[in-house]
Structure 1
Amino acid sequence: MPRKPSNYLIFSVFLLILMACSVNSTNRNPFLPEVGFRFDINLNLPLYTDLNNPGNPVYIGNNGVGIRGVYVINTGFGVFRAFEASCPNQVPSNCSTMRMEGTVAKCDCDNFEYSLFTGQQLNRPDDGNRYYDMLEYRANASGNLVIISN
């Protein structure tokens, strides 16, 4: 006759499942709201031809694409990355849309700079405060189409 599992075993399994399903909100950027969108980039269009060459970022400021728009860059070997254009360490405001200088995005609110290749903050202060890198969106390439979505 098979043994009946103990209450301790059942509780342990339940606790393990609960912990595995918990959401870790420590990585969530509190300054930027969640937005859902999808935008298709046709690399054959003149507006996006710079993306055919690695290292050339493009700003897409269409309404409904990200919070303040999206920066997209071809990092090489058919890999594209897309980042939110809002300053990641500011609540969206008049000064919080970053401007692009080469492959660097700059926030005029706090003078922080970010790599458009990695999204990482380049001049992070060592003051003990928490700072966020750029918010990254999904970028899937297929042929001459790049789909940006969240």
Structure 2
Amino acid sequence: MKHFWTLALLLILFGCDSDPENRNPFLQEARFRFELDLNLPLYNNLNTIGNPVYVGNAGVGIRGAFVIRNGIDTFLAFEASCPNQTPNECSTMEIEGQNVVCPCDGLTYSLFTGQLLNRPDDGNRYFDLLFYRTTQSGSIVTISN
């Protein structure tokens, strides 16, 4: 039994991924919590699936966040700063339908998956959108990191 617990502990320790390679070097972690009231006209688009909203309030992410309803009771939120650029004057992305585009490099990302849609085939590493947690309680959607 002693060997079982030793083996289990070793599996847990070595099973954890501490690889800094997975971390986006362009974007710092921004701790925040922000509530959106779906009853307000500002967030009215979120009452329909597939209509994104930009939340540019101070203290929300690095450059704000994009929020989209992707199901009846589910929402997704992503950082509004280009994931493959150091934050600068052109690195706040712009909504184009259900995608966002980085004006610095022209890269397009899906707001339904967060994935880069036009990934260059140049051998460089490219990051997808930075994801934020969302929860819903009644008409309040909370985004946080």
TM-score, reference length from structure 1 = 0.88
Q: 1:77 to 1:129 in 2, by over 3 A?
A: same
Aligned-residue CA RMSD in angstroms? Answer: 1.9
Q: Does residue 67 of the first structure (1) align with residue 55 of the second (2)?
A: no
**Which ranges of structure 1 fall in alignment gaps of 5 or more residues?**
none
Q: Does residue 148 of the first structure (1) align with residue 143 of the second (2)?
A: yes
Alpha-carbon separation, structure 1, partners of 2:96 and 2:57: 20
CA positional deviation for 1:11: 7.3
The code of the aligned residue for 1:39 comes to: F
The code of the aligned residue for 1:108 comes to: P
Identity of aligned residues (%): 59
**Which ranges of structure 2 fall in alignment gaps of 5 or more residues?**
none
TM-score, reference length from structure 2 = 0.91
- CA-to-partner distance for each residue in 1:32-79, whole Å, 9 max, x for gaps? 001100000110011101100001000000000000000000012211
Q: Give the corresponding residue for 2:92.
A: 97
Q: Which structure has the larger Rg over C-alpha atoms? A: 1
Alpha-carbon separation, structure 1, partners of 2:17 and 2:109: 31
Alpha-carbon separation, structure 1, partners of 2:16 and 2:114: 28
Q: How many residues align?
A: 145
The code of the aligned residue for 1:144 comes to: S
Q: Give the corresponding residue for 2:110.
A: 115
